[in-house]
Structure 1
Amino acid sequence: MNTLRLKPEEVDQAAQFIKAGKLVAFPTETVYGLGADATNEEAVKQVYAAKGRPSDNPLIVTVSGPDQVAQYAAGITPKVQALFDNFWPGPLTIILPIKPNALPSAVTGGLRTAAFRNPADKLTREIISRAGVPIVGPSANTSGKPSPTTADHVLHDMDGKIAAVLDDGQTKVGVESTIVDMSVVPPVILRPGAISAHDLEPIIGKVLNDSHKVKANEIPKAPGMKYKHYAPNAQVIIVRDPADFAKAIAWAEEKAPVGLLATDAVLEKQNTVRFKSQYSLGNDVESATHRLFAGLRYFDLNPEIKIILAQGFTPDGLGLAYMNRLEKAAGLQYFD
C-alpha cells in the first residue's frame, strides 16, 4: 500500500477513504490522529493492527459536533452541555455513557461508556461531516511510541500501513487532549492536557484528578492509563532541577552516549559542541509541552544515543500534562 500525503484541499479524498473503510491520519490541534469509521468494526480493527495496539485499550470517538454525540451517547446532562458550549471544539475529550449497541465493542473495549472529542482543526471536522460518520481517533503512531505532531512523524510509523495522511502542518498544543469522565460523580480527569481542573471547575463544579495506572485485569476507560506510552528507543531520565544537569551528564556519559532534551537556558550552559545530539524545548513549560513529542522522536532518528536526559517541570497547570507524558516516556526514571 502506498500511503498518500494529502493536501488540505484534498479533504474530500480523505472522507472518501473513511467511507470506504480505509484508514486516514488526520490533524488536530493536539497531535495527529488515526481515523477510521467508528461505526465500522472491521475498519476499527484495522486501526489496532496498524498501531499494534492492545485490543482492551478503548478508542476516542472524534465527532463533528455535539449533535453527532447525541446519536450515540446517553446522559447528556446540563453540565455536559456546558462543557460542549465552553470547550468544544477544542482539546477536551468527554467520557459519557452510551446507548445500547450504539458503537462496536472494538471502539469501547466492551465498556458501557465511550470517549468523545470534537477537535478544533477545521479540516478534521470537515472530514467527519463529509464522511457522515464519527471516526475513531487514537494518535497516529506505533503503540507505545511518541505521539506524532507532524505528517512526517505519521509517515515514519505508518507509511504503507494506512491509505493517507492529511497534512495540515505542525500541531499547536503538542500533547493529547484532556480526558474528563462525566459518567461518574464528581467528574474525574483521567488524562491531563491543556484544559485543567482549574478551567473546568468554574463551569461544572468539583473535578478530581486521577491518572492512576490500571491493573492488568482492568479495562481502562481512557487511553494512556494502562500501557507504556510515548517512549523513544533510548532510555529517558528526568532531571528534576536544571542545576543538576552537569552532574547528570557526567553520570550518564560513563554509561552510554547522551542526548539532551531541555530548555534553551539549560542547553546554553552545556558544551554545545560536544553535545550535538540535543533538542531545544524552547523557553518555558508551554513551549516544552508543544515540543516534547517532536524532541523524543528526534532522538529516535539518532540511534547512537542510548540515554536522553530530559528536563522536568513543576507538575501544575500545563506542567501536569507535560510531566504525565514525560514520566511515562521515562518509565518514572529520575536522576537523583
Structure 2
Amino acid sequence: MAPYQTQTLHPDAEGIDRAAAWLADGQLVALPTETVYGLAGDATSDLACARIFEAKGRPRFNPLIVHLPSREAARGIAEFPGDAEALAGAFWPGPLTLVLPLKPGHGLSPLVTGGLETVALRVPEHGVMQAVLAKLGGPVAAPSANPSGRISPTTAAHVLAGLSGRIAAVLDAGPCTVGVESTILAPGPEGTRLLREGGLPREAVEPLTGPLVPDTTPGTVQAPGQLGSHYAPAAALVLNSDLSDPHAIRIGFGPAEADLTLSRTGDLVEAAASLFRTLHEADALAMARNLPIHIAPIPDSGLGRAINDRLRRAAAPRS
C-alpha cells in the first residue's frame, strides 16, 4: 500500500473534526478507547474495512468489532436475544462486546463479520471515541491498532511504532485506563457464552447471566481475539517463571525482584492496565540483548483471567 505521512492529532475539537473527516473519506485513524487504541474505519465501507485488514496484515476470516455511540444505535444493526438487553443495560458503555445476530438491512460491510451471520458490537466509554462517533454519525470498525498478532497498543506511541506510514492519523488521548481488550460475550436463548476474557471480569457478569460457558478457542473463529497465537512480542515469552534466570528480561508481579513489573503491590487492575505497555518495554530490551522474556505467575481470578489469556496466546507457537 502507498505510505502515509501518519499524523498525530490532539484530543480537542480540531483533532476530533479531522479524525471524523478522514473516517468519512474512507481513511483509517487510530482512536483511543478505555481498553486499547482501536484502528478505526467506516464500518459501512468495503474500502475502509479492506484497508483495516491490509494495514494490520489481519486474516480476512477474523471478524472486526463495530463501535457505536449507544444501545439504540446497536438495536438498528442486530437482534438482542437472551441476556443481551440486560447485559447492554448493565455494562454499556464500557469494556463489553456482544456478539449478536445481524438484522436484515444492517448496512455494514460484509468484511466486518468475517462471513458470519453475527456481528460483534461495543459501546465504548472513552469520551474522545464517543465524540468522534458523534461527529461521524455512523459506526466504526475498530480492532486493536497494531500489526496482526502483535502486542496491543495502549498509547499513541505504540500505535506509531507498528502502523506509522500505514494509516492517516492517530488521535493521542494518553494511555488507556483498562489496558486489555473488551470481554466478548455471545448471549442466546440457551445461555451466554464467553468468547474472550477481557476488561469486564466474569465475576461482574455472572450474577446477571448465571454461569458463563467458556468458548474462547473454538475450531472456527467466532469473534476477535480467539486465534491461538496473538498479542505476541518478537522475543520468546516464558510464562509462570520463578524469575531466577539472569539471562532473561524478567517481568514480575508483586514484590519479587525483576527488571520490570506489572504491579509491585500485586494489584490485578494495575497489572491489566500496564500489561501491554510492559510487554512493549520488555520486548525492546529482549530484542536489543537477544534474550527471552520471563514473566511471573499471575493469579487466575478476576482480571487475572484476561491477563493470563493474553499471555498464553502471546507465548503460543507462532504460525
2:29 to 16, 19, 24: 24
The total of aligned residue pairs comes to 308
The 8 Å contact of residues 65 and 119 in structure 2, kept in 1 or not, is answered as yes
Aligned partner of 2:191 in structure 1 is 186
In 2, Cα distance between equivalents of 1:163 and 1:300 = 26
The 8 Å contact of residues 238 and 310 in structure 1, kept in 2 or not, is answered as yes
Q: Secondary structure at the match of 1:68?
A: helix
Aligned partner of 2:255 in structure 1 is 265
In 2, Cα distance between equivalents of 1:184 and 1:55 = 29
Q: Secondary structure at the match of 1:174?
A: coil
The 8 Å contact of residues 216 and 226 in structure 2, kept in 1 or not, is answered as yes
CA shift, 1:101, in A, is 5.2
CA shift, 1:332, in A, is 7.8
The 8 Å contact of residues 27 and 168 in structure 2, kept in 1 or not, is answered as yes
Q: Which runs of 5+ in 1 are unaligned?
A: 271-277
2:83 aligned with 1:79: yes
Aligned partner of 1:274 in structure 2 is none
1:121 to 123, 126, 132: 126
The 8 Å contact of residues 49 and 111 in structure 2, kept in 1 or not, is answered as yes
Aligned partner of 2:167 in structure 1 is 162
In 2, Cα distance between equivalents of 1:177 and 1:168 = 19
The 8 Å contact of residues 82 and 188 in structure 2, kept in 1 or not, is answered as no
Q: Secondary structure at the match of 2:255?
A: helix
CA shift, 1:245, in A, is 2.3
The 8 Å contact of residues 32 and 173 in structure 2, kept in 1 or not, is answered as yes
CA-based RMSD of the aligned residues comes to 1.8
In 2, Cα distance between equivalents of 1:56 and 1:306 = 34
CA shift, 1:122, in A, is 1.1
2:311 to 326, 330, 335: 326
Aligned partner of 2:92 in structure 1 is 88
CA shift, 1:239, in A, is 2.1
Q: What is the one-letter code of the residue matched to 1:279?
A: L
The 8 Å contact of residues 228 and 313 in structure 2, kept in 1 or not, is answered as no
Q: What is the one-letter code of the residue matched to 1:16?
A: A
In the superposition, the TM-score normalised over structure 2's length comes to 0.92
Larger Rg, first or second structure (1 or 2): 1
What are the superposed Cα offsets for residues 253-299 of structure 1, whole Å, 9 maximum, x if unpaired? 3xxxx2011135112xx6xxxxxxx2221222222221111111113
What are the superposed Cα offsets for residues 28-77 of structure 1, whole Å, 9 maximum, x if unpaired? 11100000000001100000000000000000001111111112112x24
CA shift, 1:94, in A, is 0.5
CA shift, 1:78, in A, is 7.0
Aligned partner of 1:62 in structure 2 is 67
Q: Which runs of 5+ in 2 are unaligned?
A: none
Question: Percent identity between the aligned chains?
Answer: 38
Aligned partner of 2:224 in structure 1 is 223
CA shift, 1:192, in A, is 0.7
The 8 Å contact of residues 233 and 306 in structure 1, kept in 2 or not, is answered as no
In the superposition, the TM-score normalised over structure 1's length comes to 0.87
The 8 Å contact of residues 253 and 297 in structure 2, kept in 1 or not, is answered as no
The 8 Å contact of residues 229 and 315 in structure 2, kept in 1 or not, is answered as no
CA shift, 1:198, in A, is 2.1
2:272 aligned with 1:289: yes
The 8 Å contact of residues 82 and 191 in structure 2, kept in 1 or not, is answered as no
The 8 Å contact of residues 299 and 305 in structure 1, kept in 2 or not, is answered as no
Aligned partner of 1:280 in structure 2 is 261
In 2, Cα distance between equivalents of 1:70 and 1:287 = 34
2:5 aligned with 1:2: yes
The 8 Å contact of residues 81 and 189 in structure 2, kept in 1 or not, is answered as no
CA shift, 1:329, in A, is 1.0
Q: Secondary structure at the match of 1:266?
A: coil
Q: What is the one-letter code of the residue matched to 1:288?
A: A
The 8 Å contact of residues 144 and 227 in structure 1, kept in 2 or not, is answered as no
In 2, Cα distance between equivalents of 1:209 and 1:332 = 22
2:101 aligned with 1:97: yes
Aligned partner of 1:12 in structure 2 is 17
Is 20-29 or 281-290 further displaced after alignment?
281-290
In 2, Cα distance between equivalents of 1:318 and 1:38 = 30
In 2, Cα distance between equivalents of 1:188 and 1:130 = 34
Aligned partner of 1:109 in structure 2 is 114
Match runs of 1:297-308 below 5 Å: 297-302=280-285, 303=287, 304-308=289-293
CA shift, 1:210, in A, is 2.2
In 2, Cα distance between equivalents of 1:202 and 1:308 = 37
After superposition, the Cα gap between the structure-2 partners of 1:184 and 1:27, relative to the gap in structure 1 and judged at 3 Å, is farther
